[in-house]
Amino acid sequence: MHDANASRASKSFTTLTASAVLVNPVGLHARPSVKLTQCAKSFAATIEIALDADGPWTDAKSPVKVMRVKAPQGAMLYFRVTGLDGEAALAAVLALVHDGFGEASSSD
């Protein structure tokens, strides 16, 4: 359930936005938060999340802040990504959400 249509905004780097529904049972709790921040940190781009398309936006590279969002299962998670590797970053975080942070399958 992706809306990967990017909204083009800024001058230097295009800011990409997308949203996806949290499908994993616990929502964005501790373990998914860690996975999301680890994924986000592997990109140079600025990656932010929000529960509303208008924000407030939270730095997806901060595990503490991501956990504080307390996004439950079924919530729509919005992403805002800006940077050179923004497209790859957005694809990676969306894939993570789409896969339920790997929680449906094995627990590692």
Q: Which residues bind another protein (CB under 8 A)?
A: 30-31, 34, 37-38, 41-42, 61-65, 107-108
Tell me how far, at minimum, the Cβ of 64 lies from another protein, in Å: 4
Q: What one-letter code names the amino acid at 96?
A: L
Identity of the residue, 19 or 93, whose beta carbon is nearer to another protein in the bound complex: 93
Residue indicated by tokens 């994993």: 24
CA distance 54 to 24: 24
Identity of the residue, 17 or 35, whose beta carbon is nearer to another protein in the bound complex: 35
Tell me how far, at minimum, the Cβ of 35 lies from another protein, in Å: 8
Catalytic residue of the set 2, 29, 65, 98: 29
Q: Respond yes or no: is residue 29 known to be catalytic.
A: yes
> Within a 10 A sphere around the Cβ of 64, how many other Cβ atoms?
9
Identity of the residue, 54 or 56, whose beta carbon is nearer to another protein in the bound complex: 56
The tokens for 11 are 């001058």
> Within a 10 A sphere around the Cβ of 59, how many other Cβ atoms?
15
> Within a 10 A sphere around the Cβ of 63, how many other Cβ atoms?
18
Residues known to be catalytic: 29
